């Protein structure tokens, strides 16, 4: 996930050539562009084709939980809200892929000028974003504010929706709503039955 310019530990460092195998004319390869789009889609928690400030915050909350077992949600919200507003949209409005792409390319260039290293960094960001999305399905990481994303995230793991909605309801002190769980996905319902 985008972390405000912090390089993953495995990322290369230093100034290397701006070109790498698989690129044409020194620009990003088709694979590099595919990785950028995948990272964007992983950040788009509600699947509406844009990234919202809260989505960046939520994804990075889950990453913090995975890394540390806990998270200071207030501090994370401040950090990633500031990062979003400084780099993506100063008013906190949702951004579409071209804005995300431009920022990500700028950040990657600041981390390492080698396209090969940048591709590895992108792969690491994707792995972290995938792990963060998976964390939405871990009941101990459930939060009331996860509920709005679960219908879209259920497509990642449709069998988990019922238990996730229950965990979210427990954090809110409510009974799980079958109506909310039934909106999971148009294809699958908890238990694997097809919708009609």
Kindly write down the DSSP assignment for every residue of 142-158, as one continuous string.
--GGGGGGHHHHTTTSG
pLDDT of residue 127: 96
CATH 1.10.238.10 fits 27-135, yes or no: yes
What pTM was computed for the model?
A: 0.69
Q: Are 104 and 129 in contact (CB under 8 A)?
A: no
pLDDT at 28: 83
pLDDT in tens, 40-91: 999 999 999 999 999 999 999 999 989 988 889 999 999 999 999 999 999 9
Conformational region of residue 26, where left means phi above 0, alpha means psi within -120 to 50, and beta covers everything else: left
Domain ranges of the chain: 27-135, 138-196
Q: For residue 65, what are the CA distances in angstroms to 69, 71, 164, 186?
A: 4, 6, 16, 30
> What is the predicted pLDDT for the residue at 144?
79
pLDDT value, residue 49: 96
Residues of the chain with pLDDT under 50: 5-24, 175-196
| pLDDT value at residue 191 | 41
Cβ distance 122 to 35 under 8 Å? yes
């Amino acid at each position: 996930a985008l972390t405000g310019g912090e390089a993953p530990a495995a990322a290369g460092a230093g100034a290397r050539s701006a070109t790498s195998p698989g690129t044409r004319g020194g620009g990003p390869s088709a694979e590099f562009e595919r990785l950028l789009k995948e990272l964007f889609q992983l950040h788009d928690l509600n699947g509406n084709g844009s990234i919202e400030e809260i989505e960046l915050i939520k994804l990075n909350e889950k990453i913090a939980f995975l890394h540390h077992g806990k998270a200071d949600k207030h501090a994370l919200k401040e950090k990633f809200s500031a990062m979003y507003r400084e780099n993506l949209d100063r008013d906190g409005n949702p951004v579409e892929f071209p804005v995300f792409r431009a920022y990500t390319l700028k950040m990657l260039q600041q981390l390492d000028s080698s396209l090969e290293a940048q591709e590895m960094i992108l792969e690491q960001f994707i792995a972290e974003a995938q792990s963060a999305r998976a964390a939405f399905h871990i009941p101990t990481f459930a939060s009331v504010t996860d509920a709005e994303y679960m219908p879209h995230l259920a497509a990642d793991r449709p069998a988990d929706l019922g238990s996730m909605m229950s965990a979210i309801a427990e954090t809110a002190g409510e009974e799980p709503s079958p109506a909310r769980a039934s909106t999971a996905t148009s294809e699958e319902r908890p238990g694997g039955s097809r919708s009609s």
